C-alpha cells in the first residue's frame, strides 16, 4: 500500500516512481514551463495601438476599491476610461499616470509638517 502512494501512473506501459530520474525530469520540465509562462505577459505586446487595457475587475483588484468607488472616480473624471458597447476599459498607462500624480511620499509629508 505504501508503494502505491509513492507512484504515479503515466499510462498502461509503466509506472514512474517519485525517486526515479523520469519523475525528476518531469518536475524539472514543469518548473521550466511555469517559468516560461510567467515571462509571457512581459513578452507579449498590447494588441490595441500599443496600449494595454484593464477590465473593471482588474482595476478593482489593482486599486483595492469597491465598484461604487470606481463609479465615483469615473463620474468625477478622476480615472480615464473607454466605454465600448457596454464594456468599460481602462488604459493602463493613464491609470499609472493618475497614481503617480496623486502619490505623496511619507518623507515629503513629514517635511511639510516641520
Give Cα separations from 101 to 13, 73, 96, 105 (angstroms): 62, 15, 9, 11
User: What is the pTM for the complete model shown?
Assistant: 0.54
pLDDT 10s digits, 18-62: 777 888 888 999 999 999 888 887 776 666 777 889 999 999 999
pLDDT 10s digits, 64-95: 999 999 999 999 999 999 999 999 999 999 99
Map out the domains of the chain as residue ranges. Answer: 2-43, 53-101
Alpha-carbon distance of 38 to 66, in angstroms, equals 28
94's enclosing H/E stretch is helix 92-101
Amino acid at each position: 500500500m505504501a508503494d502505491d502512494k509513492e507512484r504515479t501512473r503515466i499510462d498502461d506501459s509503466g509506472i514512474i516512481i517519485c525517486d526515479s530520474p523520469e519523475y525528476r525530469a518531469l518536475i524539472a520540465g514543469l518548473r521550466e514551463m511555469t517559468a516560461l509562462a510567467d515571462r509571457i505577459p512581459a513578452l507579449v505586446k498590447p494588441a490595441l495601438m500599443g496600449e494595454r487595457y484593464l477590465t473593471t475587475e482588474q482595476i478593482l483588484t489593482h486599486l483595492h476599491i469597491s465598484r461604487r468607488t470606481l463609479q465615483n472616480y469615473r463620474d468625477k473624471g478622476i480615472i480615464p476610461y473607454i466605454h465600448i458597447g457596454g464594456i468599460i476599459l481602462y488604459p493602463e498607462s493613464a491609470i499609472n499616470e493618475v497614481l503617480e500624480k496623486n502619490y505623496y511620499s511619507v518623507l515629503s509629508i513629514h517635511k511639510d509638517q516641520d
